[in-house]
Structure 1
Amino acid sequence: MLKTLYTRLALGLFLLLLAVGLLYTFISLYSLREYSASVNQALHQNLAQNLVSDRNLVRDGELDRSALEELFALYMAINPSIEIYLLDLEGTLLSYSADPAKIKRNQVSLAPIRRLMDDMSLYPLLGDDPRSHDRQKVFSVTPVPTADNPEGYLYVVLRGEEYDAAETLARGSKVLEMSAWALLVSLAVAMVAGLTIFRLLTRRLRSLTRLVEEFENSDMSQSPHNTWHNKRWRDKRPVVRDEIDYLGATFDTMAQRIANQIEQLTEKDAQRRHLVAQVSHDLRTPLASMQGYIESLKLRHDRLSPQEQDRFLDIALKEGRRLSRLVDELFELAALEAREKQPVPEPFPLAELVHDVVQKHSQAAQDSQLTLSLSGDPALPTAYADLAMTERVLDNLISNAIAYSPLGGRIDVIVGQAEGKPEVYVQDSGPGIAAQDLAHIFDPFYRGEAPGGAGHAGLGLAIARRIMTLQGGDISVENLASGGASFCIRLPVDAAC
């Protein structure tokens, strides 16, 4: 029942209006009584004094008891709302205009009497009601027979029992009934207005809730086309830029990010499956070759010449080394992907490193009847990267160039700079890379068909790209117009230099 925000807001508004209505009623009734008492006391502040003078209660400086009795009888008939008492100087009742059975206490406190006589503007000032044990009422008082020689007080309760009875009867009158109805109608109008406002305010929140539900029901695998921004534009509603609009914009961003992450996870899972299949294939090939030659050597060793036995062992050893290298590359790529192996950047002269790497591969190039040359601008900016990792990338690029260049071919290593960053080009004279393979050449175990050549697969280029990414550098490839491929690496420089 109270599961929706609108229901809770409606209930909260109802309880708030009910509390406000009750509080308003209590304050209004209390204020009305206080106001009425103040007005009554202000209008009759001299009533006791006027009764003494008008009815000649004092004669020759003495209080006329018979005139007082006549006063009691007269005002009980013509003005039953007041009650008249004669008090001594201690506040004890000496005489009164009431049935003795109705008197509940025979003495009243003199403190409020003295306060009123000292300051006639203290309204409303309440005094003890002799007809009640604890009730107090507004009053008028005057010392008798005179203020200079008081023997007691004429104490007039302005709102006696008859007044209370009439007031109780008036509470059920048409005026109070109309006031009650006016209050109820006002609260009802406020309730309807509040519910309407809440409905309008929560409408956009309900729309946002439906968007979230639609996104959830779509398995969160696709970017939501019905975004909060599009919905606001389609409904032609102004952008308020309040908390709900900010929440909607945040949802759009979050939904897009979740969809992208799910898409990336799906792509990663597909890559993982492809990688497992490729790893299985590339591991199976050298293992099968090793197993075949070793089994042949074992079964036919007595029929093989020593030269054939050595050739079989050399092939098995070559396949074992190939398998070992592949496993090492797998571990290296996994460590780089998991960021277990982080680069330790340091400033170093890139030209010197390239020269050393070229010298290291010069013998292998000669053995393959290839020309390996180094050229370019030696005055390069100081690179800021991991020296060992950079050397690993250069080794891989030059080794690949040697492997895919034909006999008598040429490999050019060119150093230079672009936009203040050092770069190295490794260009070979091989068959190049098929156009459809250029975008995937750095993917792990990607197997493409070289134009006019055999397929190629491995992890070297994937490791090279990961190393360059971790170092904040870049690696790219393109085919040369004259034939062959050109790989380029760009390294960052030290910002402090």
Structure 2
Amino acid sequence: MLNSLYTKLVLVLFALFIALGAIFLAAALYTAPMYQQEVSQQLNRDLARYIVNEHVLIEEGKIQQDNLEALFHTAMIINPALELYLLDAEGQVIAHSMSPDKVKRKHVSLQPIKVFLSGQVQGLIMGDDPGHEQRINSFSVAAIDHKGQRQGYIYAILGSDKIGHITDVLQRSLIMKWSASAVVVALVFAFIAGLALFFFLMRKLRTLNLSMQRFKQTNMQDGGIVTSNQLKARDEIDAMAQTFNHMARQIQSQMRRLQQTDALRRELVANVSHDLRTPLSSLRGYLETLILKSSQLTDAERQVYLNIAHDHARRLATMVDELFELAKLDANEVRPQQEPFSMGELVFDVSQKFHLRASEKDIQLNLDVDETVPYVNADVGMIERVLDNLIDNALRHTPAGGSVNLVVTAEHGKVRITVSDTGYGIAEEEIPHVFKRFYRKTSAVEDNKEDDRLHAGLGLGLAIASRIVELHGSRLSVSSILHQGTSFQFSLPAHMLSP
């Protein structure tokens, strides 16, 4: 129980209010006498001056004893708490209204007296109290001058022992008790209000903590996120809850991506194992035939077997290259190194690489480049790879007598590249899957041809092309009509020449 945050806050609040109450009461007890002395000094500030104006106490350096005794007697009758002292010009006590044994000091400091007489300080001024060896007290003072010469001072102590005794009585009075009780009641009320506030704040923290615990217990899957209707306010706790919501959603998203990645990994292993087994088995079979029947084969037969084994080895190398290339693209290890270049020239160069293969399959490879096409900003090597994959895909899925068309046009600050064919086409339900890894469409019969099998990879060509286009900030789109043909399109930003 003591380890809970709420208990710790309550204990700290309790200790704080106890300290505040003690400080307030101590300050009240300390300042009450000071306030009483200041009020007394303000009320009796001109008392000494009135005495000097009404009584001649020193004349030509001589003390007027009769006048002084009459003054002391009158003062004791009017105000028994008043203590009068007659000082010389140096501050020495030369007469007083006290009994001789009550006077403890024979000299009074002139510094407070000068400050008082200057009138520059309006607050409480404390001076030496001759009735005590160390005590200072409030006073009233007036200078006694004769013919321009300072004769002495009449010095009146206002806060005498009797006044101090009265102050002690006041401190134990009913009013002081009421004041102390009022302070205690106010502190108790504030303490209860603080407890209620802490309970309200801790309720939100408890809700957040329970949400975090549920999130942990459900293995970071669901059920632990604070709902939006619990976040109506906008304080730091709500901000922390929103941060937790964001973190939880991020964790869940990452968990889903990890699960998807794991599923893709399993699919990758299954597909790679299946697809690599075929060329490996074929390669192994032909090599074993060459080894076992080497003496029985003619040179022509041996060359045929070697050519077939070489084709399967090349296909195997293509598959491995595709795997590495897509892995690098997905891991963002390869970034486009953009530079301006002619798209028309690149399309022409790439088409030349496929002319022989197209001729062998009796497929016409057509090129249509708009003369007004500007340069593009892109990675020339990556875009060449896209064109290679698209043209290779078109040739593999176009029957003899068909055509593959490459069209480059300019439109609205971009250059559009289209690779279309008159091949077998793609069924409508298969179009959303053509860019998926290891996907091969099932609607075309040409996949059974030996030449297409030898040129085929792992079904990653379109996935690689799509990923490269995405890295250039564009999108590879596809449209197709079954038994009529397929068209792939993407755009690249045109290179704007500086003025």
What band does the TM-score fall into relative to the shorter chain?
A: 0.7 to 0.9
Residues 436 and 463 in structure 2, CA contact (< 8 A), matched pair in contact too: yes
- Deviation of 1:180 (Å): 0.9
Q: Following superposition of structure 1 onto structure 2, how do residues 317-336 of structure 1 map, counting pairs within 5 Å?
A: 317-336=310-329
Secondary structure in 1 aligned to 2:326? helix
Residues 138 and 413 of structure 1: CA distance in aligned 2, closer, same or farther (over 3 Å): closer
- Deviation of 1:181 (Å): 1.0
When structure 1 is superposed on structure 2, of 5-14 and 90-99 the one drifting more is 5-14
Alignment size in residue pairs: 490
Residues 472 and 492 in structure 1, CA contact (< 8 A), matched pair in contact too: no
Q: Following superposition of structure 1 onto structure 2, how do residues 351-430 of structure 1 map, counting pairs within 5 Å?
A: 351-375=344-368, 377=370, 379-416=372-409, 421-430=414-423
Secondary structure in 1 aligned to 2:476? strand
Residues 347 and 494 in structure 1, CA contact (< 8 A), matched pair in contact too: yes
Amino acid at match of 2:347: V
List per-residue Cα deviations over 1:344-370 (Å, max 9, x = no partner): 333333334333333332221221233
CA distance, structure 2, for counterparts of residue 146 and residue 427 of structure 1: 126
Question: With structure 1 as the length reference, what TM-score do the two structures score?
Answer: 0.81
Q: Give the counterpart of 1:263 among 256, 264, 286.
A: 256
The residue aligned with 1:107 is 107
1:468 aligns with 2:469: yes
Residues 358 and 175 of structure 1: CA distance in aligned 2, closer, same or farther (over 3 Å): same
Q: Following superposition of structure 1 onto structure 2, how do residues 303-322 of structure 1 map, counting pairs within 5 Å?
A: 303-322=296-315
- Deviation of 1:176 (Å): 0.8
The residue aligned with 2:452 is none
Amino acid at match of 1:184: V
Q: Give the counterpart of 2:336 among 336, 343, 354.
A: 343
CA distance, structure 1, for counterparts of residue 322 and residue 269 of structure 2: 14
Q: Following superposition of structure 1 onto structure 2, how do residues 138-153 of structure 1 map, counting pairs within 5 Å?
A: 138-141=138-141, 153=153
List per-residue Cα deviations over 1:52-75 (Å, max 9, x = no partner): 899998999975647756876786
CA distance, structure 1, for counterparts of residue 490 and residue 46 of structure 2: 110
Q: Give the counterpart of 2:432 among 424, 436, 439.
A: 439
The residue aligned with 1:161 is 161
List per-residue Cα deviations over 1:291-314 (Å, max 9, x = no partner): 222222222223334433333222
- Deviation of 1:183 (Å): 1.5
The residue aligned with 1:288 is 281
Residues 208 and 228 in structure 1, CA contact (< 8 A), matched pair in contact too: no
Residues 105 and 133 in structure 1, CA contact (< 8 A), matched pair in contact too: yes
- Deviation of 1:288 (Å): 2.2
When structure 1 is superposed on structure 2, of 181-190 and 436-445 the one drifting more is 436-445
Q: Following superposition of structure 1 onto structure 2, how do residues 447-462 of structure 1 map, counting pairs within 5 Å?
A: 447-452=440-445, 454=447, 457-462=458-463
CA distance, structure 2, for counterparts of residue 86 and residue 394 of structure 1: 117
1:38 aligns with 2:31: no
Residues 373 and 413 in structure 1, CA contact (< 8 A), matched pair in contact too: yes
CA distance, structure 2, for counterparts of residue 297 and residue 472 of structure 1: 51
The residue aligned with 2:126 is 126
When structure 1 is superposed on structure 2, of 467-476 and 36-45 the one drifting more is 36-45
Secondary structure in 2 aligned to 1:138? strand
The residue aligned with 1:480 is 481
The residue aligned with 2:494 is 493
- Deviation of 1:476 (Å): 2.5
Secondary structure in 2 aligned to 1:487? strand
Secondary structure in 1 aligned to 2:177? helix
CA distance, structure 2, for counterparts of residue 452 and residue 312 of structure 1: 26
When structure 1 is superposed on structure 2, of 75-84 and 268-277 the one drifting more is 75-84
The residue aligned with 1:235 is none
Amino acid at match of 1:321: R
Secondary structure in 2 aligned to 1:474? coil
Residues 295 and 189 of structure 1: CA distance in aligned 2, closer, same or farther (over 3 Å): same
CA distance, structure 1, for counterparts of residue 351 and residue 61 of structure 2: 139
CA distance, structure 2, for counterparts of residue 388 and residue 49 of structure 1: 107
Secondary structure in 2 aligned to 1:277? helix
Residues 369 and 129 of structure 1: CA distance in aligned 2, closer, same or farther (over 3 Å): same
- Deviation of 1:464 (Å): 1.4
- Deviation of 1:179 (Å): 0.9
Question: With structure 2 as the length reference, what TM-score do the two structures score?
Answer: 0.81
CA distance, structure 1, for counterparts of residue 199 and residue 298 of structure 2: 96
Amino acid at match of 1:81: A
When structure 1 is superposed on structure 2, of 293-302 and 473-482 the one drifting more is 473-482
CA distance, structure 1, for counterparts of residue 42 and residue 369 of structure 2: 111
When structure 1 is superposed on structure 2, of 85-94 and 172-181 the one drifting more is 85-94
CA-based RMSD of the aligned residues comes to 4.0
The residue aligned with 2:271 is 278
The residue aligned with 2:451 is none
Q: Give the counterpart of 2:294 among 279, 289, 301.
A: 301
Amino acid at match of 1:36: Q
Residues 6 and 202 in structure 1, CA contact (< 8 A), matched pair in contact too: yes
Residues 214 and 224 in structure 2, CA contact (< 8 A), matched pair in contact too: no
List per-residue Cα deviations over 1:135-192 (Å, max 9, x = no partner): 1112344567979887655543222222212321321111111111111212222333
- Deviation of 1:397 (Å): 2.0
Secondary structure in 1 aligned to 2:340? strand
Report sequence identity in percent.
40
